Structure 1
Amino acid sequence: MNALPPVHRTTSAMAVVSLVSGIAAWSVLPLVGAIVAIVCGHLARGEIRRSQGQIEGDGLAVAGLVLGYVQLAFGFIVLLFAIAAIVLGLSIGFGASLFH
């Protein structure tokens, strides 16, 4: 009856920070939250891989990464549209004022 002691697994704190920051990126801190979610998500996944099964939370880290990357992509698209609107608005507004 040699029973192995139960394995005590902990959840990665970085994975939790990544997920919370990813959620914050969509609600309160768009740019900062997205960057923190991405950095912490990658750090957490590396920590989890190196732990050899002692640390869990890969799903939390992946969710944080997805939320962070999608928020950054969304912000970049909005920025491009804003720049295009300004450039087109200025050129249309400036061109129209020449004829009046």
Structure 2
Amino acid sequence: MSTPIRQTSTLAIISLIAGILGWTALPLIGSIGAIITGHMARGEINREPQRLEGDALAVAGLVLGYTAIVVGILALFVFVLFFGGMVWLGLQS
């Protein structure tokens, strides 16, 4: 009896690559792509676990995508607070 060879999910690989691109070349687009394809890959892998593998790749893509978006939102928040505070101080003088 031979064990069937499992393939790595293409969507999981795309999710990981998009997650890396979300931190480097394509900040917003890469992160959103990583999140979408990561969830799609996990669903695909859960539906066909005997044929597909790569759940860790999909999770890594999801983590990279979500953290890039959270860091971006926090950076925007700090930017607005910093420059908003400077404007408020300038108007007080």
> TM-score normalised by the shorter chain: which range applies?
over 0.9
> What corresponds to 2:40 in structure 1?
43
The structure with the larger Rg is 1
Instruction: Write the deviation string for residues 33-84 of structure 1: whole angstroms up to 9, x where unpaired.
Output: 1100011000000000000321000000000000011101100100101111
Q: What is the number of residues matched between the two proteins?
A: 93
* 1:78-89 alignment runs, 5 A limit: 78-89=75-86
TM-aligned CA deviation for residue 95 of structure 1: 1.3
* 1:36-75 alignment runs, 5 A limit: 36-75=33-72
* Runs (5+) with no aligned partner, structure 1: none
> What corresponds to 1:95 in structure 2?
92
TM-score by length of 1: 0.88
4+ residue runs of structure 1 moved beyond 3 angstroms? none
Task: Output the amino acid matched with 1:21.
Answer: A
TM-aligned CA deviation for residue 20 of structure 1: 0.2
SS at match of 1:53: coil
What is the CA RMSD across the aligned residues, in angstroms?
0.9
TM-score by length of 2: 0.94
> What corresponds to 1:5 in structure 2?
2
- How far apart, in 2, do the equivalents of 1:29 and 1:94 lie? 37
Task: Output the amino acid matched with 2:23.
Answer: W
* Runs (5+) with no aligned partner, structure 2: none
Task: Output the amino acid matched with 1:51.
Answer: E
- How far apart, in 2, do the equivalents of 1:52 and 1:88 lie? 53
